């Protein structure tokens, strides 16, 4: 599928993280297109020379100059079809199609074509399309994956639309969850992707058991050992764990003021003194047999439902599967993730949508659909369908969502910790770094390797990944 390239003209970029909204300027005469194209060429050269140098001023300046050269359409002049690759299935895909149909009814010149893509090889397919300049109108993926597509120059900077006086998102900075700002830092503080809803780790627990024991879900990590010990004494087995240990560890570390990676300098921080203290804390729980790793199936769903573990930390999105497994065996409880340290932090885990560079009207149509998905009524409904926190604050305040919170304990927990959300680094090489750290932690917990050896090997692999 051949794509028209976007028309370039001078504009002004947004300054995001500090909350500064760009002032829009009038578009210059068409004669300036040549200058804009030259800026694009300079951007490409600068990115190739300084792609992996986060502090390279020349590359940063060239990139900024080229980003300001983006022009957008502000009017649909004829029929437009947008194609969206997504990974929603079952009832989630049904809802997505319903919303697409509603949008088309309100905007008859825009047709939304949804294409489900299986998870297997999805990212490879998107990357191949990005390299071939053959992406669909919009793609749906994890935030960390977007960095690779941005580096290919395949995605639209949404700031041009967000702050536009004609088609923009009014009060965007006030309405969209502030935790999302962390996602944009590695992208030059530019918005190349946006989630519809937010979710993250919560504390799942056997509420019936906790009431029998007279204990409450822990609010701090210091309280976890006492809770885990009480549960373990009750069931005769280790009663607590992280479903994905590396995620839990990174949250505990970040709350304590540590960091997995220093983004500015691209240096590893997961083996610092603070980091080692947190690893030791969790290892002690395992050695005392009050905590455990998840096991071969990689999920606590069945062990929890069968009474083999009484509480654990897992992604809020597991609720549907967990509720089905538990049935009427006991009352399922969910509480906010424990917090302890100078920084409140829950890692956001939900996928994001990005607009591909195609042609001005197709990009505008894609933006219009995304903005519709973020509108209060639609986004509130989205939160109830996915059992998650709407990205829009206005949507959170809709009665349909507030009523939903009263009957869904996981959604209530996600909502309660809404001011603690942030993203782990959305940089190229993130998944390689995460995988190497996960391997190290498992080896330490299972006494396969000592801490120094395991972390040294993880550091070596992580540094190679982030410096590619």
**Which SS3 state, helix, strand or coil, does residue 352 take?**
strand
- Tell me: do 442 and 298 sit in the same domain: yes
Between strands 332-335 and 201-206, the pairing is: antiparallel
Name the least confident of 18-22, 100-104, 179-183, 277-281: 18-22
Q: CB–CB of 441/246 below 8 Å?
A: yes
Residue 406 confidence class, pLDDT cut points 50, 70, 90: very high
Band the pLDDT of 428: cuts 50, 70, 90: confident
Burial class (CB in 10 A: 0-12, 13-18, 19+), 190: buried
Contact 332, 211 (CB under 8 A): no
Whether residue 408 is found in the same domain as residue 434: no
* Residue 183 within any structural domain of the chain: yes
The mean per-residue pLDDT over the stretch 427-450 comes to: 93
Q: Do 398 and 461 lie in a common domain? A: no
Contacts of 119 (CB under 8 A, 6+ apart): 87
Q: Is residue 25 part of a domain?
A: no
Report the C-alpha gap between 437 and 56 in whole angstroms: 28
The verdict on 285 and 385 lying in the same domain is no
Write the CATH number for 106. Answer: 3.40.190.10
Higher pLDDT: 10 or 271? It is 271
| Residue 174 covered by a domain | yes
In terms of domains, do 152 and 85 share one? yes
- Give the closest residue to 313 by CA, choosing from 240, 369, 246, 373: 240
Assess contact for 224 and 338: CB atoms under 8 A. Answer: yes
Please count the structural domains in the chain.
3
Asked if residue 340 is part of any domain, the answer here is yes
Residue 217 lies in a domain: yes
pLDDT band at 468 (very low <50, low <70, confident <90, very high): low
Annotate 58-126 with DSSP letters as a single string: HHHHHHHHHHTTB-------S-EEEEEEE---HHHHHHHHHHHHHHHHH-TTEEEEEEE--STTHHHHH
Distance CA 378, CA 374 (A): 7
Reported as a single tens digit per residue, the pLDDT across 301-354 is 999 999 999 999 999 988 988 999 999 999 999 999 999 999 999 998 778 999
Asked if pLDDT for residue 31 goes beyond 60, the answer is no
Q: Looking at the domain assignment, is residue 74 inside a domain?
A: no
Percent of the chain whose pLDDT exceeds 70: 85
Q: Is 7 a domain residue?
A: no
Nearest residue to 81 (alpha-carbon basis) of 369, 354, 382, 371 = 369
Do residues 285 and 227 both lie within one domain? yes
Of 67, 96, 127, the residue at which a domain comes to its end is 67
Assign 3-state DSSP to the chain and report helix, strand, coil percentages, each to 5.
50, 15, 40
Does a structural domain hold residue 424?
no
- Measured CA distances, 66 to 38, 74, 149, 300, 343 (Å): 9, 20, 17, 48, 36
Asked if 433 and 411 sit in the same domain, the reply is no
The one-character DSSP state at 132 is T
Compute CA 38 distance to the chain's CA centroid, rounded to the nearest angstrom: 34
Per-residue pLDDT for 36 more than 80? no
What distance in Å separates the CA atoms of residue 98 and residue 82, rounded to the nearest whole number?
Answer: 16
> How far apart are the C-alpha atoms of 298 and 285, rounded to whole Å?
19
- On the 0-12 / 13-18 / 19+ scale of CB atoms within 10 A, 93 is middle
Distance (Å, rounded) from C-alpha 260 to C-alpha 247? 11
Pairwise CA distance, residues 147 & 184, whole Å: 10
Domain range for 369: 80-198+350-417
**Of 414, 440, 447, 420, residue with least CA distance to 249:** 440
Task: Please check whether residues 341 and 361 belong to one and the same domain.
Answer: no
314 SS3 class: strand
Reported as a pLDDT band with limits 50, 70 and 90, residue 71 is confident
Q: Do residues 215 and 364 share a domain?
A: no
400 shares its domain with 328 = no
| Whether 407 contacts 166, CB under 8 Å | no
Residue 444 and residue 309 share a domain: yes
Q: What is the Cα–Cα distance from 351 to 143, expressed in whole angstroms?
A: 6
In this structure, the answer to whether residues 282 and 368 fall within a common structural domain is no
- Is residue 37 over pLDDT 80? no
Element (H or E) spanning 412, and its range? helix 409-416
The 3-state secondary structure of 187-203 reads HCCCCCCECCEECCEEE
Please provide the average confidence, as pLDDT, over all residues in the chain: 85
- In terms of Cα–Cα distance, which of 272, 57, 105, 87 is closest to 196? 87
The angle subtended at Cα 465 by Cα 462 and Cα 468, nearest 5°, is 145
CB neighbourhood size of 116 (10 A): 14
How far is 205 from 214, CA to CA, in rounded Å? 13
What is the per-residue pLDDT for 70?
52
Please state the φ and ψ torsions of residue 337, each to the nearest 5 degrees.
-60, 135
Tokens found for residue 263: 């983004």
């Amino acid at each position: 599928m051949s794509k028209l390239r976007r028309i370039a003209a001078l504009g002004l970029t947004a300054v995001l993280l500090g909350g500064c909204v760009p002032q829009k300027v009038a578009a210059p005469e068409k004669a300036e297109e040549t200058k804009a194209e030259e800026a694009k060429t300079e951007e490409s050269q600068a990115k190739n020379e300084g792609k992996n140098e986060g502090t390279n001023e020349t590359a940063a300046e060239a990139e900024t100059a080229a980003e300001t050269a983006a022009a957008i359409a502000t009017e649909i002049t004829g029929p437009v079809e947008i194609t969206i690759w997504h990974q929603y299935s079952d009832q989630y895909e049904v809802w997505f199609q319903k919303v697409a149909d509603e949008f088309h009814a309100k905007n008859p010149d825009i047709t939304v074509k949804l294409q489900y893509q299986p998870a297997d090889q999805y990212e490879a397919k998107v990357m191949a399309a990005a390299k071939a300049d053959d992406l669909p109108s919009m793609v749906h993926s994890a935030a960390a994956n977007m960095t690779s597509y941005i580096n290919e120059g395949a995605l639209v900077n949404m700031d041009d639309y967000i702050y536009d006086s004609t088609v923009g998102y009014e009060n965007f900075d006030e309405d969209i969850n502030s935790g999302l700002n962390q996602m944009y830092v590695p992208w030059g503080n530019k918005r190349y992707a946006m989630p519809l809803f937010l979710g993250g780790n919560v504390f799942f627990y056997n509420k019936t058991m906790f009431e029998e024991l007279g204990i409450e879900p822990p609010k701090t990590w210091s309280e976890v050992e006492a809770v885990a010990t009480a549960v373990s004494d009750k069931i005769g087995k280790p009663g607590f764990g992280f479903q994905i240990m590396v995620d839990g560890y990174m949250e505990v570390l970040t709350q304590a003021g540590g960091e997995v990676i220093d983004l500015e300098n691209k240096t590893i921080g997961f083996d610092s003194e603070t980091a080692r203290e947190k690893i030791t804390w969790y290892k002690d729980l395992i050695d005392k047999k009050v905590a455990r790793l998840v096991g071969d199936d990689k999920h606590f769903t069945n062990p929890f439902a069968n009474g083999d573990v009484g509480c654990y930390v897992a992604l809020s999105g597991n609720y549907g599967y967990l509720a089905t497994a538990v049935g009427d065996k006991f009352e399922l409880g969910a509480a906010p993730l424990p917090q302890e340290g100078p920084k409140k932090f829950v890692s956001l885990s939900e996928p994001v949508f990005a607009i591909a560079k195609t042609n001005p009207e197709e990009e505008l149509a894609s933006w219009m659909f995304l903005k519709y998905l973020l509108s209060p009524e639609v986004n509130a409904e989205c939160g109830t369908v996915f059992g998650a926190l709407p990205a829009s604050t206005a949507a959170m305040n809709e009665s349909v969502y507030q009523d939903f919170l009263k009957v869904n304990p996981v959604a209530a927990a996600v909502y309660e910790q809404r001011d603690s959300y942030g993203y782990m680094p959305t940089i190229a090489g993130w998944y390689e770094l995460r995988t190497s750290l996960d391997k190290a932690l498992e080896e330490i917990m299972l006494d396969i390797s000592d801490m120094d050896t395991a972390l040294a090997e993880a550091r070596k692999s992580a540094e190679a990944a982030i410096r590619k």
